[in-house]
Structure 1
Amino acid sequence: MNKKIKFVIVGSGNIANTYVSAIQNIDNADIVAVVSKRLKSPSKQKDLPTFTSLKDITIDFNAVIICTPPGLHHVSAIEAATLNKHVFCEKPLDVTLKAMDDMISICKNNNVLLGVAYQRRYSSDNPVIKKLIQENKLGKIFSVDLSVKNYRDDNYYNSASYRGTKDIDGGGPFVQQASHYIDLYNWYFGKPCKIVSKLNTFAHDIEVEDHGVAICVHDSGMINTITASTVCKPGFPAKMEIYSSKGYLIMENDVITHWDMEDLENPTTQSKTSNTHTGAATAMVEDTTNHEFLINDFVNSIIKGKEPLINGEDAKKASEIILEIYSNQF
């Protein structure tokens, strides 16, 4: 009989409900409690015991899932690791290099696992493209344009006091809405050797950017762009365009929508309408398939004593790119 891993969720906002839904579909995982400063359970599992701190929990548990605002991730991770509990963290890992390094170090020193939810790596056609790049099947790639043009109205930023703040939210759409795709970008192509950017705030009363563009240069010679926004009405699917010596491909919301590569058939098995997220105002996550995949991997990693698919060191790379975008503005 498989061991059941008992999780505590830290935080009770929208994303906590995503994990409640995901874990309800995993046989050897269970949520036994929630930590919330407001002593509030996620709406999808209201009967959970609630505590204000991990150290006050009187129920046996093995691991935590951190669903607090990004700039507070390290607080809960450090507290959990000192209690010898494994840590699964919502993206991004955190918003400063020091916080991320502290998380990685204390988890390692206390011999607990640190996993991060960059689940889009395993969505739709994304693993297929990764394999083709690894096998050099796409030819010499010289240009990639990543565009995450979302729309968020004032209600989104007013929904929580931390939204749109530098210290707690970590920034605007680059660290928030585009973080998954910047992780995907790094997974495919690695970190740029040089980044220059231009960011601005056009439509919201917030501390950070609501629109910007980065130019990324790689050792291979690639010249790429990353655009991130929350002001592009009405909101558009996330798009990645890849141009190479063999042709081009375009992906929208992780699905190949255009393909013209010499001597290479379109490998997609997805319907172009199978993923219809538009980038509009909602921040809710309804499909938990890929969360389930990563949580299953994390549970098995705990049981078998192995590193999770996406650990702290791996997840940190996307944040390093984002921090360079923020620091290298002209």
Structure 2
Amino acid sequence: MSAPYRVGIVGCGAISRNHLEAFAAIPEATVVAVCDVDPGRARETAERWRIPHAFGSVGELLAAGVDLVSVCTPHPTHEAVVLAAAAAGAHVLCEKPIAIDLASAERMVAACDTAGVRLGVLFQRRFWPAAQRLRAAVDDGTLGRPILGHASVLLHREPEYYSAAAWRGTWATDGGGVLMTQAIHYLDLLQWLMGDVVEVHGYLGTFTHAIEVEDTAAAVLRFASGAMATLSATTAAAPSLGVSIRITGETGATAELTEFPEGTDGRVTILARGRTIDSEPAHPAGIDPDVDLATINGQLIPHHTTQIRDFVEALGAGREPAVTGHDATAALTILLAVYESSRTGRPVRLAQPAATPEGAS
């Protein structure tokens, strides 16, 4: 395109700041409209960011003529926004999770495929330099074929995190707890690093927070390659211990990515044949591990920017973005299998994923 892509942002809550900052750093795209179910909040956002148009509905935003829609609304509302955008011929970037049920995710992917528009989903932690380095250690043979993985997600949330936003902490409006909102990032990293998951056995518990959904979960994953991984996740840790992703390969080498405090750039350590390869940044000293949500989101802005830039570049090049709707659906499928396994007390077998379009990751 000779002119920048015209961007509309749907939802003016906390995470919209990351999208606004990202697009402000990308000359090939410009935000021309925002909308929110609270028109006053949309107007305030537009005034603060000097955006020409503010609307109270998705229909009005699409009628203004946008090329790309960023979806920053609560989880269960993603489908309606994505389907409307696709019908209007607009490309779509959607915050994770893509949806809270598989049928909804599949309708979203199908609608964008049918309309011939791109669908990307935000999993910005893939774009950490440390995550890219860990992936390179898989791809370049340092680790060899992954055989064993682990994701430890030991986070802290105050009770106010759930009570301050009425949609959080319920099955109907949040779709789940620590798995759906926090640990899905790390399920995505496990599948990205280790391949397709074919079986899941999981457990859920609610031990600390007064919420309907889980604040703690554990799962065992088996991959199509025969590899195995475990996941443990909670928002009940006090203090937060952050996140660790560990992959052992058939060469015997192990790579570990750590995110501490939550939201800071990952650090990767690779132990291979007696050699230690350590990356920066190191763990910061003397910092409070229990950072607030605004700080976590703020620290992720550079990686939102990298992923959103990739999406815009993908539009210009006519290729799939680095993280597609198909990728996000695969991560959701694993997560929902943990829920099903916990309900039934049995392992859940996953169908082999269909082939993604040429060029998809």
Check whether TM > 0.5: yes
1:214 matched to 2:187? no
Which amino acid in structure 1 is aligned with residue 164 of structure 2?
Answer: S
Aligned to 1:130: 135
Question: How do 1:101-112 residues align onto structure 2 when only pairs under 5 Å count?
Answer: 101-112=106-117
Alpha-carbon contact 2:146-2:194 (below 8 Å) kept: no
Q: Distance in 1 between matches of 2:37 and 2:201?
A: 39
CA separation of 1:281 and 1:203: change in aligned 2, threshold 3 A: farther
Question: Helix, strand or coil for the counterpart of 2:129?
Answer: coil
Q: Please list the CA deviations of residues 22-50 of structure 1 after superposition, one character each: whole Å capped at 9, or x if unmatched.
A: 11111121111111110113658534422
Which amino acid in structure 2 is aligned with residue 52 of structure 1?
Answer: G
Q: Please list the CA deviations of residues 135-160 of structure 1 after superposition, one character each: whole Å capped at 9, or x if unmatched.
A: 33214543222111111111100121
Question: Helix, strand or coil for the counterpart of 1:92?
Answer: coil
Aligned to 2:5: 5
1:294 matched to 2:323? no
Aligned to 1:248: 254
Residue identity (%): 29
CA separation of 1:243 and 1:45: change in aligned 2, threshold 3 A: farther
Question: How do 1:219-234 residues align onto structure 2 when only pairs under 5 Å count?
Answer: 219-234=224-239
Aligned to 1:270: 280
1:82 matched to 2:87? yes
Alpha-carbon contact 2:134-2:257 (below 8 Å) kept: no
* 1:59 CA drift (Å): 2.9
Question: Helix, strand or coil for the counterpart of 1:174?
Answer: helix
Aligned to 2:348: none
* 1:219 CA drift (Å): 3.9
Aligned to 1:181: 186
Alpha-carbon contact 2:33-2:46 (below 8 Å) kept: no
Q: Distance in 1 between matches of 2:288 and 2:327?
A: 26
RMSD of the alignment, in Å? 2.3
1:310 matched to 2:323? yes
Gap regions ≥5 residues in structure 1: none
CA separation of 1:261 and 1:27: change in aligned 2, threshold 3 A: same
Aligned to 2:18: 18
After TM superposition, the structure 1 stretch with the greater mean CA deviation from structure 2, 210-219 or 29-38, is: 210-219
Question: Helix, strand or coil for the counterpart of 1:56?
Answer: helix
Which amino acid in structure 2 is aligned with residue 51 of structure 1?
Answer: F
Alpha-carbon contact 1:237-1:279 (below 8 Å) kept: no
Q: Distance in 1 between matches of 2:246 and 2:256?
A: 4
CA separation of 1:116 and 1:257: change in aligned 2, threshold 3 A: closer
1:54 matched to 2:67? no
Question: Helix, strand or coil for the counterpart of 2:120?
Answer: strand
Alpha-carbon contact 1:249-1:260 (below 8 Å) kept: yes
Which amino acid in structure 2 is aligned with residue 310 of structure 1?
Answer: V
- Normalized per residue, the structure richer in helix is 2
Q: Distance in 1 between matches of 2:165 and 2:315?
A: 34
Alpha-carbon contact 2:131-2:268 (below 8 Å) kept: no
Aligned to 1:285: 297
Question: Helix, strand or coil for the counterpart of 1:252?
Answer: strand
Question: Helix, strand or coil for the counterpart of 1:227?
Answer: strand
Q: Distance in 2 between matches of 1:218 and 1:82?
A: 36
Which amino acid in structure 1 is aligned with residue 169 of structure 2?
Answer: G
How many aligned residue pairs are there?
329
Aligned to 2:35: 35
CA separation of 1:45 and 1:300: change in aligned 2, threshold 3 A: farther
Q: Distance in 1 between matches of 2:288 and 2:31?
A: 28
Question: Helix, strand or coil for the counterpart of 1:286?
Answer: helix
Q: Distance in 2 between matches of 1:3 and 1:307?
A: 21
Q: Distance in 2 between matches of 1:199 and 1:26?
A: 41
After TM superposition, the structure 1 stretch with the greater mean CA deviation from structure 2, 140-149 or 289-298, is: 140-149
CA separation of 1:110 and 1:259: change in aligned 2, threshold 3 A: closer
Q: Distance in 2 between matches of 1:274 and 1:293?
A: 23
After TM superposition, the structure 1 stretch with the greater mean CA deviation from structure 2, 221-230 or 243-252, is: 243-252
* 1:234 CA drift (Å): 1.4
Q: Distance in 2 between matches of 1:278 and 1:214?
A: 25
Alpha-carbon contact 2:91-2:119 (below 8 Å) kept: yes
Gap regions ≥5 residues in structure 2: 260-264, 346-361
Question: How do 1:187-198 residues align onto structure 2 when only pairs under 5 Å count?
Answer: 187-198=192-203
CA separation of 1:140 and 1:56: change in aligned 2, threshold 3 A: closer
CA separation of 1:327 and 1:295: change in aligned 2, threshold 3 A: same
Q: Please list the CA deviations of residues 216-257 of structure 1 after superposition, one character each: whole Å capped at 9, or x if unmatched.
A: 123444332101111011112211122345243322116345
Question: Helix, strand or coil for the counterpart of 2:197?
Answer: coil
CA separation of 1:31 and 1:137: change in aligned 2, threshold 3 A: same
